[in-house]
A and B are shown apart, each in its own frame.
Chain A
Amino acid sequence: MKRRNTHYSRRITILRTLIQISAFILIFGGALGIAASEIVLPVMIPAGNPYTTVMGAWQLLEIMVTAAIFPYLAIAVIALGSLIFGRFFCGWVCPFGFISDLVSYIGKKGRVSDKTNISLFKISLFIAGLFLFIDFSIGYNEAVGTSIAHYFGDFSREPSSIIDPTSSMFSMLFWYFYWRLYPQGLDKLSQIIKYPPTFWIRLVIVIIAIVSNYYIPRLWCRTFCPLGGLMGLGGQYSLLRVFVDPKNCLGEKCRLCEKRCPLNIPLVSIRGDIRHPQCTMCLMCAEACPTNAIRLRISLT
């Protein structure tokens, strides 16, 4: 028997936002005196911020590979993380995802077709592949003594940081405003004009990445995040997943879940287990469902 929600609830949004705020505080917990740990999470976390307490898997992977160290730990976190949780961490833990969600709550919530969505995912995969190729090229040449790191300048240890708004915001801009280390930052703003073009490129990317969420939620995450691409690739086969119960789903005449989904997943068309590379398991669909047909479940089949 179908059970109807009598009133619209925001419980999941509130719970998710509270978890995102807690994760944000813990990730940058050094500011509160929390010591750095050895924990690696499958989200984009800047390593260059002095208050970071946990490491991002993608950042660890890049830093280790470019230092000619095989990144077993990062690979383990990405492989097992995507197998078990899919992109759950993107939706519930990622600090940049949290900022994106805050902007998209007040935004226009623009939609893209599923075909475009899949194309955007393929772009993120291409970006992941491109940076992995660069990383392994640098690492290999370091190992054999024919270093090519100098060609990449400041980006030789973490090439993807040029397009990564997380590291640009929480590392580059953090240090810019941290006047004790960069006295030319706050007290001599006129100096900023002399900064290298890469500073301006990164600043523009940060602004675009944040503002774009006003028009299309999580546009950077679904298009350019290299870790999101890798997690989405394995996440299609994850054990934890969103499940749309076909028995309770009202189908074509309802589609409230699809209208609410910030990542435009065609839930009604798919039904059953949602194996979509862009699904971050934010559960906005479950919140919108009038028959409680949508839930998270662990599926071994």
Chain B
Amino acid sequence: MSKRKLSIRALLLIIGIISLVMAIKYEQWKFVKEILTKLIEFENGGLPTIT
């Protein structure tokens, strides 16, 4: 395996695992649940506000 491929895969793996550990530590899945269960208007740009 080329050094370039190996190093990029190792980098992605390290970034992914560290991020996953930190996401678990800060319980970020709760944020996902919160976004999906409440009414958000982040993507409604261009529409008048809800009346």
Contact = CB atoms under 8 A, between A and B. Distances in A.
Contacts of A63: 35, 42
Interface of B, secondary structure class, is helix
Given A53-B36, A301-B1, A171 B16 contact: no
A1 interface: no
Contact size range, A = 35 or more
Contacts of B32: 38-40, 55, 60, 73
A132 interface: no
Contact size range, B = 35 or more
Interface of A: 36-40, 46-48, 50, 52-55, 59-60, 63-64, 69-73, 75-76, 79-80, 82-83, 153-155, 157-158, 161-162, 164, 167-168, 171-172, 175-176, 181-184, 195-196, 198-202, 234, 237, 300-301
27 contacts: A39-B32, A40-B32, A48-B41, A50-B39, A69-B28, A71-B28, A72-B22, A72-B23, A72-B28, A73-B29, A75-B19, A76-B19, A80-B17, A83-B16, A154-B45, A154-B46, A158-B42, A158-B45, A164-B43, A167-B43, A168-B43, A181-B50, A182-B50, A183-B51, A195-B46, A237-B5, A237-B8
